């Protein structure tokens, strides 16, 4: 970073953070004192939607600031225009402050004191985010980032409440009232595009392009609208014109390239310097994928968000649930052959709209995995707990179980953090809306009777950074799962589980408190040394992604996926750069599994940004024999564009081929895509699928560790309780390559029981019951397809388990 301001600021970041936090705390304390004098009880964490609007001065200040932001955006940030529309500002103030819960004259008298304190607190919080954003991208990129965030968050306000017609009417009126103002046409055109009304978008953007000051941007937006309407040649012409005006405009360059792919090549009129080649994703792939969503019946969900793969009714076959940003969840039952029947209807999940993350875990240990879902993630929403009735239907038990939550919950995880055999629940809290009251992560302890107790404060993990992802795993091998929190804009955190229901923040000493735009994260022993490493998926702005695609690597200031190697001594080392992970993607979700059955993990990334001009491929990294990751996405057959959310990898047909599920689609009505499923065309190698059923441990065996020994090497796995958008199946998939023999499998159950088995079959799916000798086949041998070798592998007398005490190695 050459900018001297950045050089000056970076060493002072921690000091500035401390100062802003101190200011925030001081203002909060002062506000509490005023509350006490006024006899006002500060409202507790919201558990239900605030249908009546803001309840107190803090919430009203936040609401008012967001409304002002919306007005500012409509007036292109022009203060004079905003001042002229004072009636709008007054109406916004009325909406924000009009319904405050006030009890008696003392509380009304206190309001003039509370308001400056509330606005001051908000200012301190917002400055802290600004500080982190400036740290990441440099101060020179801050205005662009603010503009981007403003567009995204104010749009969310309008689009989730379906107020876009009112908004559109206001924009039309505004444009008519100011015919000389092309910026208003530009905004109107962009809004039409977001609604999928491309003809009107093109009309308005054509008008806007007449103004030389904004012609380049208008042409670029028109290019996007025309491409999306299927007019590729015209889109390419617009892109070329925009590039003429702004030669560094990589977005136009990329969409022209996309258009050229559709047309079978660039039109001859496009000069060489406006063309590009895709310089990533071309490394030779070890596996060839085919898209089979429609063939297997998983294509009936659009605007996909979360995905989860689990055995719904205990019949052994893996079923699928997909959530959608605009509508309810879809539930698909496996027909027993890897094809699916949509059984959403009557499942109890169909009206659960806007679900983000689906965490799967059997919290009541009845043999049927239950679901906890979060909503929206970048906006307040109501998380819900669904108990699995075992017959393909679910019952909403959120209130009865005591796990109500209203806020910008992003991901959720099931974890037995105290190893008592009952799954507890953790919910991350992100930053909802542009200005926001900080929401708290929540840890719910399972009481063992179908109810939960919020133990967040006692556990000592009430951290106030915004978090998107969390992952639980026993990084120090002491038998208790620890917590890594991935911050969406701030410092990530590592909490070591003390084993007594409390946690210690060890982020800094572990080397895991970096500032980045972190999304989901995953504990994963990628190098099979017995110590859980950490993968943190990172979101990059579109400019850095375009740079990556055009140049084959990230720009110098770019931030890539972060892979931390566990040194085994409580510290971690960032190793992703030297492992070849040097690209920038707008990754919201990612997962790890052995897709090519070669005994080494692959990473898949679901990428994209919310705006209509953003389109990114899903990315596949194969871990090669050289110990480095290689981007083989397009060689393997993945498409070059999209907007991926819940990516998942699961053996849907039980034939050893992991299917890559990509829930695709953006937040705008004009940006709908359907879910895609990619499957290896042939079985890429031998395999073994392992399922675990806990008895003393939680029944889902979440937190269990497995070590498979074959061919002189070992492979390590952990059963996750939810890693993010794509909830991997509890089933563990081991790739064996050409190996025909497994030497041993060691299971360390969350209870501490260690069992070791040998004589295991190859190319099969088997299940272990905690404490029992032997295993059972999951699938009836005769109905398994495409695995000729498996028929010969009936288990001999299983080797008795060798039990051990709590794992404290």
Partner 1 sequence: MNSQQSAHPKQEIGGMVPEISLPLVQGGTGTLQGFLKGKKGLLVVFWSETCSHCLRYDSFLNEFPQRYPELGLVVIACRQGETAEEILATIAQRNLRFPILHDQDSRIARQWHTQQTPRVFLLDANRRLLYRGAIDNYRYPADPDYQAYLRPAIEAFLAGKPIERPETASFGCAVQSVYYQLPKPLARS
Nearer to partner 1, 68 or 139 (CB): 68
230 near partner 1, rule: CB under 8 A? yes
41's CB contacts (< 8 A; 6+ apart) are 35
Smallest separation, CB 579 to partner 1 (Å): 36
- Rule CB under 8 A: choose which of 228, 333, 679, 691 binds partner 1: 228
Q: Residue 360 phi/psi, 5° resolution?
A: -110, 125
Site for partner 1, residues 319 to 348, rule: CB under 8 A: 324, 326-328, 330, 342-346, 348
Q: Does residue 267 touch partner 1 according to CB under 8 A?
A: no
The tally of CA atoms less than 13 A away on the side-chain side of residue 347 is 24
User: What is the C-alpha to C-alpha distance for residues 502 and 284, in angstroms, rounded to an integer?
Assistant: 48
Binding status of residue 229 toward partner 1 by CB under 8 A: yes
Residue 732: phi and psi, rounded to 5, are -105, 130
Nearer to partner 1 by Cβ, of 231 and 279: the residue is: 231
Applying CB under 8 A, does 203 fall inside the site for partner 1?
no
Pick from 231, 279, 551, 756 the residue near partner 1 by CB under 8 A: 231
785 and 655 in contact (C-beta within 8 Å)?
yes
Look-up of token digits 């556990």: 459
Q: In whole angstroms, how close is the CB of 206 to partner 1 at the nearest point?
A: 18
* DSSP class per residue in 174-206: HHHH-TT-HHHHHHHHHHHHHTT-HHHHHHHHH
670 belongs to the binding site for partner 1 (CB under 8 A): yes
Region from 281-289, 536-544, 668-676, 712-720 binding partner 1, contact rule CB under 8 A: 668-676
- Contact between 350 and partner 1 by CB under 8 A: the answer reads yes
Q: Does 265 bind partner 1 (CB under 8 A)?
A: no
Residues 417-436 that bind partner 1 (CB under 8 A): none
Rounded CA-CA distance 112/237 in Å is 57
Nearer to partner 1, 167 or 564 (CB): 167
Query: Between 192 and 414, whose beta carbon lies closer to partner 1?
Result: 192
Q: Which stretch binds partner 1 (CB under 8 A): 87-95, 447-455, 723-731, 741-749?
A: 87-95
Q: What is the CA radius of gyration of the chain?
A: 27
By CB under 8 A, name the one of 13, 126, 206, 393 that touches partner 1: 393
Which residues, including other chains, have CB under 8 Å from residue 173's CB and lie 6 or more apart?
Answer: none
**Hey, which residues between 18 and 57 contact partner 1 (CB under 8 A)?**
49-53
Q: With respect to partner 1, which residue has the nearer C-beta, 164 or 621?
A: 164
Whether 638 and 289 have beta carbons less than 8 Å apart is answered as yes
Q: Does 100 bind partner 1 (CB under 8 A)?
A: no
Residues near 123 by Cβ (< 8 Å), separated by ≥ 6? none
If we measure between CA atoms, which residue out of 622, 752, 736, 753 comes closest to residue 690? 736
User: Could you please report the per-residue DSSP string of 45-89?
Assistant: ---S--TT---SHHHHHHHHHHHHHHHHHHTTT-HHHHHHTHHHH
Q: Which stretch binds partner 1 (CB under 8 A): 66-74, 134-142, 478-486, 568-576?
A: 66-74
- Which 283-302 residues touch partner 1, going by CB under 8 A? 299-302
Quote the crossing angle between the two packed helices 198-208 and 215-228, to the nearest 10°. Answer: 160
CB proximity list for 268: less than 8 A, separation 6 or greater:
none
Pick 131 or 195: Cβ nearer partner 1? 195
How far apart are the C-alpha atoms of 65 and 58, rounded to whole Å? 11
- The answer to whether 472 and 703 are in contact (CB under 8 A) is yes
Residue count at the site for partner 1 (CB under 8 A)?
61
Nearer to partner 1, 213 or 345 (CB): 345
What is the per-residue binding string for partner 1 in 155-174, x denoting contact by CB under 8 A? --xx-xxxxxxxx--x----
Q: Token pair of 618, please?
A: 């899903």
Q: Does 798 bind partner 1 (CB under 8 A)?
A: no
Instruction: List the one residue from 125, 197, 445, 720 that touches partner 1 (CB under 8 A).
Output: 197
In the bound state with partner 1, the residue whose beta carbon lies nearer, of 388 and 674, is 674
CB distance 403 to 443 below 8 Å? no
Residues contributing to the site for partner 1 (CB under 8 A):
49-53, 66-67, 70, 88, 91-92, 94-95, 154, 157-158, 160-167, 170, 195-198, 228-231, 262, 299-303, 324, 326-328, 330, 342-346, 348, 350-351, 353-354, 381-382, 393, 669-670, 672, 674
């Amino acid at each position: 970073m050459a900018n001297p301001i950045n050089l000056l600021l970076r060493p002072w970041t921690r000091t500035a953070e401390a100062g802003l936090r101190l200011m925030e705390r001081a203002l909060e304390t002062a506000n509490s004192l005023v509350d006490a004098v006024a006899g006002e009880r500060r409202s507790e964490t919201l558990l239900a939607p605030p249908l009546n609007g803001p309840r107190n001065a803090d919430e009203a200040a936040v609401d008012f600031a967001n409304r002002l932001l919306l007005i500012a955006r409509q007036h292109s940030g022009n203060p004079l225009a905003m001042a002229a529309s004072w009636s709008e500002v007054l109406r916004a103030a009325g909406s924000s402050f009009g319904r405050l819960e006030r009890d008696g004259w003392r509380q009304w008298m206190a309001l003039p004191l509370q308001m400056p304190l509330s606005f001051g607190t908000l200012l301190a919080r917002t400055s802290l985010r600004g500080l982190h954003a400036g740290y990441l991208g440099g101060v020179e990129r801050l205005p662009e980032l603010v503009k981007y965030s403003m567009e995204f968050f104010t749009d969310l306000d309008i689009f989730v409440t379906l107020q876009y017609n009112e908004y559109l009417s206001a924009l039309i009126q505004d444009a008519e009232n100011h015919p000389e103002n092309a910026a208003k046409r530009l905004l109107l055109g962009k809004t039409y595009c977001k609604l999928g009304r491309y003809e009107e978008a093109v009309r308005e953007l054509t008008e806007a392009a007449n103004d030389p000051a904004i012609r380049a941007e208008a042409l670029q937006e028109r290019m996007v609208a025309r491409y999306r309407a299927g007019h590729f040649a015209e889109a390419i012409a617009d892109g070329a014109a925009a590039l003429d005006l702004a030669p560094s405009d990589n977005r136009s360059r990329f969409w022209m390239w996309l258009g050229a792919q559709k047309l079978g090549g660039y039109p001859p009129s496009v000069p060489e310097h406006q063309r590009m080649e895709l310089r990533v994703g071309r490394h030779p792939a070890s596996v060839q994928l085919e898209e089979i969503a429609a063939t297997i019946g998983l294509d009936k969900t659009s605007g996909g968000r979360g995905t989860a793969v689990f055995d719904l009714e205990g019949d052994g076959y893996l079923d699928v649930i997909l959530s959608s940003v605009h509508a309810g969840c879809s539930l698909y039952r496996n027909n027993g052959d890897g094809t699916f029947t949509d059984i959403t209807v009557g499942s109890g999940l169909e009206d659960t709209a806007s679900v983000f993350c689906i965490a799967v875990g059997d919290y009541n240990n009845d043999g049927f995995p239950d679901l906890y879902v979060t909503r929206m993630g970048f906006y307040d929403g109501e998380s819900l707990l669904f108990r699995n009735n075992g017959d393909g239907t679910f019952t909403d038990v959120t209130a009865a179980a005591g796990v109500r939550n209203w806020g910008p919950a992003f991901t959720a995880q099931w974890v037995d953090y105290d190893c008592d055999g009952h799954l507890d629940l953790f919910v991350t809290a992100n930053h909802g809306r542009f200005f926001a009251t900080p929401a708290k992560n929540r840890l719910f302890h399972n009481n063992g009777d179908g109810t939960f107790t919020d133990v967040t404060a006692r556990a000592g993990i009430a951290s106030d950074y915004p978090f998107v992802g969390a992952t639980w795993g026993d990084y120090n091998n002491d038998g208790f799962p620890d917590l890594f929190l991935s911050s969406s804009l701030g410092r990530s955190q590592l909490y070591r589980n003390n084993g007594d229901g409390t946690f210690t923040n060890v982020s800094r000493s572990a080397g895991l408190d970096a500032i980045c735009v972190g999304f989901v994260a995953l504990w994963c022993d990628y190098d099979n040394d017995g110590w859980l490493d950490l993968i943190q998926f990172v979101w990059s702005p579109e400019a850095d992604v375009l740079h990556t695609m055009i140049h084959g690597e990230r720009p110098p200031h770019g931030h890539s996926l972060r892979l931390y190697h566990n040194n085994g001594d409580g510290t971690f080392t960032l190793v992703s750069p030297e492992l070849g992970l040097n690209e920038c993607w707008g990754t919201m979700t990612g997962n790890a599994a052995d897709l090519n059955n070669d005994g080494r993990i692959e990473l898949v990334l679901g990428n994209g940004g919310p705006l209509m001009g953003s389109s990114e491929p899903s990315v596949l990294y194969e871990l090669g024999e050289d110990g480095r990751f290689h981007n083989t996405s397009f060689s393997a057959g993945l498409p070059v564009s999209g907007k991926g959310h819940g990516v998942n990898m699961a053996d849907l047909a039980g034939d050893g081929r992991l299917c890559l599920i990509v829930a695709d689609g953006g937040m705008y009505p004009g940006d709908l895509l359907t879910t895609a499923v990619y499957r290896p065309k042939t079985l890429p190698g031998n395999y073994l699928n392992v399922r675990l059923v806990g008895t003393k441990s939680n029944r889902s065996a979440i937190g269990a560790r497995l070590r498979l020994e074959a061919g002189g090497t070992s492979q390590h796995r952990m059963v996750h309780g939810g890693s993010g958008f794509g909830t991997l199946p509890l089933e563990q998939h081991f790739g064996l390559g050409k190996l025909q023999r497994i030497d041993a499998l060691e299971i360390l159950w969350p209870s501490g029981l260690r069992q070791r088995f040998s004589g295991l079959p190859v190319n099969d799916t088997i299940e272990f019951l905690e404490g029992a000798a032997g295993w059972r086949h999951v699938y009836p041998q005769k109905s398994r397809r495409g695995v000729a070798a498996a028929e010969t592998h009936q288990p001999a007398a299983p080797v008795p388990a060798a039990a051990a005490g709590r794992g404290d190695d």
